[in-house]
Amino acid sequence: MQDPEASRIVRLEQNVLAKNDLMAERNRGWLEAREILALNLMSSPGAGKTTLLERMLADFAGEVRLSVIEGDQETARDAERIRRADARAIQINTGSGCHLDAQMVHEALRKLTPSARSLLIIENVGNLVCPALLDLGESEKVVIMSVTEGEDKPLKYPHMFRAAGVMLISKIDLLPHVEFDVERCSRFAREVNSALEIVRVSARTGDGLDGWSQWLRARIAAVGAKSSAV
């Protein structure tokens, strides 16, 4: 006999996801109408998301307007770091929540009002499970994993790497000091997602950032071209 309580929970989860997806589509339409490229950055804690953002702000200064939605369970430390780097940022604290959702992003967009034809970075809560499950209305999901993590993370957390369009292998300046096989990790990631683009970067030394910048510029140009074609 089917458990009625289990059926109720499944229906509630489906309703929550459906509501989130509807709001995500509203977010996406709002962003696309303004030619804003929105990237959802996801990783485990400490992979280097905020440090990478600080480097991007320096490298793209005067070229691309960049604003940031920061997601953490507590504190506004990351948003303060981004503001000190001379960019607009808004902090979302999720409390016990392990991810951002589309409604949170919708409310943040109303307060942040990112400029048309700009780049919006959504730095999700550090977690390799929950953030991959919800659409926020972003243009693309980006997963970051550092060389201080296990090479088999893509196999252990496949949904995250399957959902992403690009994977950044960060902190490559530490490769001489850790046991991490970049090729093996890349092979595992492509077993999960054969279309995944992989870029190796170090926000500290700048190694590999040219490849990441090229990827970003191509996506920014594609947003503008899509708008012009409509």
Contacts of 161 (CB under 8 A, 6+ apart): 143, 153, 154, 167, 189, 192, 193, 196
What confidence score (pLDDT) does residue 229 get?
63
Cα 104 to Cα 107: distance, rounded to the nearest angstrom: 5
pLDDT at 5 over 60: no
What confidence score (pLDDT) does residue 6 get?
54
Residues 54 and 82: beta-carbon distance below 8 Å: yes
Per-residue pLDDT reduced to its tens digit, 100-141: 999 999 999 999 999 999 999 999 999 999 999 899 999 999
Per-residue pLDDT reduced to its tens digit, 192-213: 999 999 999 999 999 999 999 9
**In the chain, where are the structural domains located?**
4-229
The mean pLDDT of 147-176, rounded to a whole number, is: 97
Structure confidence at residue 1 as a pLDDT band (50, 70, 90): low
CATH architecture for segment(s) 4-229? 3-Layer(aba) Sandwich (3.40)
Per-residue pLDDT reduced to its tens digit, 28-83: 999 999 999 999 999 999 999 999 999 999 988 888 899 999 999 999 999 999 99
